[in-house]
Structure 1
């Protein structure tokens, strides 16, 4: 007994030391992120202001040439058919995890929907469902207890203060330690799926090089208002990009909802980073840096709730943007030093620098619109000069259109809706300009990382 106690004490001491070292490392990273945010904010602001004062943004046209050419290239590649996955001879056991914090309006519908998935082996469910009630103060716990009576595969894990509410990555790691599956799936607490969902997704992982797969995401309340519909269009466009990345060597990225990863790949990457604001993006980069592949499954989808008011929307998107900038500030040196081919390095950097480049893309659109208005009113006079060759200007202007057009055509949008959604989405994307500055400001003033989750309202049916 004494020997066991001593060993246990030594293990706990080692865990404490490791935790302190980890916290110290993350505090150092926080300082790096702050200094890089200040540098990026000052640089971007200086470029924009100097361009306006000098009335010349020719530099902007050249700066955007590579990302806009990339957009066009990805749009073309997305039209190619993806490699067809080969089903498993014996389908793997899957652990499905749902982190839940104050989800009383959606948790019952989500658990019910997922529990009805038809994925069996020898006549029995070939998956388990783990819901982690992370310090909920509403009726989430009571609703889960009621669901447990009718859903045998449901396992409920309850986290309480002071452990709860620290980050989604910590929640997922707790569930991971209890999971039995060789494949781990993650769903948000507002998810709806079709019954054949897992049977369609699992074959994408039947390849030793493939470590993860991201499924298509759709909004089940897309018809509620303009903002909800634009998020639906946005995810369709993002899915289109992931199809292209799948065709270019299976180099996609995981999203928070509907992601599936081999358990060993998560363990090899030292699990989810509980300190990361976007733990899914963080895990994606770690998998890709180790030479792993991530596929995209567009044959089926997870349906989730779109945010329907601008205040909540900006709160959600600021968190996503902070996660992107965290990743690029910390992982950029590792990406550049990695033995990966140059094209794969560029693919990772292009993906995680999305918010920075889009600031300039839509600033460029504003300048172009002002010049067009001025040209018509003042007969050929432009307000701010853009002196790059005409072809550069044309590419920068039209690069946005093919990708979104292909995505809408895949949705089988009618002619009127097609035009309406393209114009609407173009207008919607201007939110990326204030979002950049809000994100930089919050990264500079924040003192700690927090899991600032999106609140879900639920639907009648």
Structure 2
């Protein structure tokens, strides 16, 4: 039994190392995409909101100030705060700002439903002269800050300048990554920990996830995210015709939309040359809750595997990459169980007087395997982050980030266990993740329901 557990664990670790290599190489070899003329397209921003009074005003100011003459559709999902009133005040002063009001019992049913409501509201305002191939819909979080060059990059010849491209996802940065006192003054130890937590989230998005997307560009299987997501209106219409609505009910509705775009025969792109900045979470509890939701949404998307495998629009490499990504939560659980079985058998053998008789008990071999499979694949992102994202940082900082990433990534095992537990117990509802600016306010903080 122990040999089987060891074999499974080794196979999974080798597969993981191969995947790490396959994402790092295209990440470093990727060539920049050229910019285009954003005036050749019409741009509509969708901003879903649930109790976002703390941030929505600034977001509307930023979008309308940075991208004048673009339409902003703010969906108020029956907020209990002043979100609706704030948006309405902007809409009364600016004809490009629109409030999409949802009310219970037809509200708070998921982000996908909120986006669908804005999609239908937008369609009702469009005249016959609008070309759906040249109208681009962008989804932005209520606290999202798009870089000023994002529309030019999205309009480039390799993105929406290519008629084969149906959707694109910009890279994501953490806007509070350099905050020295994220919890306020007088809390040196807690601020030290929280600074590290903020930085790890930035490293995760700007290196690990960006590298995954670089591989997906090669395999034509780029995934979409929930912030900084761009899609042609014509593609959304085609998906709606075939599947009922553009966005659907998975907790990972963004990745789900990306799959639908690919199944519809279009391509997705990753925009690494621009970004959307969002808040990194300052609370471990809120981070685990958010990532558990993402993990659960990932597991829900496993239902698309048969369609992906059978689709003529997915390349062979795209099928392999998509299948690996979708079954990864199950592989992680198998690997976790294999190590638990190995550890239990090891201690049972030790307690029964069998001594250290396993093949892996040579301490040098154990340390080497731990370094290769358990530390390097995670610690390497610290130096990569310094080289690609923060070249002015010192190598001592990079070493610290390496240690931090090695420890940080183990959150995924906690989240995977929680996600599977939620699925098996039939729990699919969530409250929104509370913004850092809202922590002084009352109400629930990212509690699942």
Q: Same fold (TM over 0.5)?
A: yes
- In 2, Cα distance between equivalents of 1:289 and 1:64: 31
Larger deviation, residues 392-401 vs 198-207 = 392-401
Indicate which of 327, 341, 360 corresponds to 1:385: 360
- In 1, Cα distance between equivalents of 2:357 and 2:18: 25
Q: Is the 8 A contact 1:67 1:350 kept in 2?
A: no
Alpha-carbon spacing, 1:344–1:196, altered in 2? closer, same or farther (3 Å): closer
**1:269 aligned counterpart, secondary structure:** helix
- In 1, Cα distance between equivalents of 2:395 and 2:336: 25
Indicate which of 402, 420, 434 corresponds to 2:400: 420
- Structure 2 counterparts to residues 104-143 of structure 1, below 5 A: 104-118=53-67, 125-143=68-86
Gaps of 5+ in 1: 1-49, 119-124, 371-379
| TM value normalised by structure 1 | 0.76
Superposed CA RMSD in Å reads: 3.3
- In 1, Cα distance between equivalents of 2:386 and 2:430: 33
- In 1, Cα distance between equivalents of 2:21 and 2:335: 14
Alpha-carbon spacing, 1:403–1:342, altered in 2? closer, same or farther (3 Å): farther
| TM value normalised by structure 2 | 0.78
The residue that corresponds to 1:21 in the other structure is none
The residue that corresponds to 2:175 in the other structure is 220
User: More relative contact order in 1 or in 2 (CA 8 Å, sep 6+)?
Assistant: 1
Say yes or no: does 1:336 pair with 2:296.
no
Q: Is the 8 A contact 1:71 1:400 kept in 2?
A: no
**1:406 aligned counterpart, secondary structure:** helix
Q: Is the 8 A contact 2:333 2:416 kept in 1?
A: yes
Say yes or no: does 1:455 pair with 2:430.
no
CA displacement, residues 164-197 of structure 1 (integer Å, 9 cap, x when unaligned): 1011111111111222472110001111233333
The residue that corresponds to 1:186 in the other structure is 139
Say yes or no: does 1:440 pair with 2:411.
no
Instruction: State the Cα distance separating 1:365 from its structure 2 match.
Output: 9.3
- Structure 2 counterparts to residues 250-265 of structure 1, below 5 A: 250-265=220-235
- In 1, Cα distance between equivalents of 2:285 and 2:40: 43
Q: Is the 8 A contact 2:48 2:142 kept in 1?
A: yes
Number of residue equivalences: 391
The residue that corresponds to 1:238 in the other structure is 209
- In 1, Cα distance between equivalents of 2:436 and 2:92: 25
The residue that corresponds to 2:373 in the other structure is 396
Alpha-carbon spacing, 1:386–1:188, altered in 2? closer, same or farther (3 Å): farther
- In 1, Cα distance between equivalents of 2:264 and 2:357: 50
The residue that corresponds to 1:30 in the other structure is none
The residue that corresponds to 2:388 in the other structure is 410
- In 2, Cα distance between equivalents of 1:437 and 1:283: 25
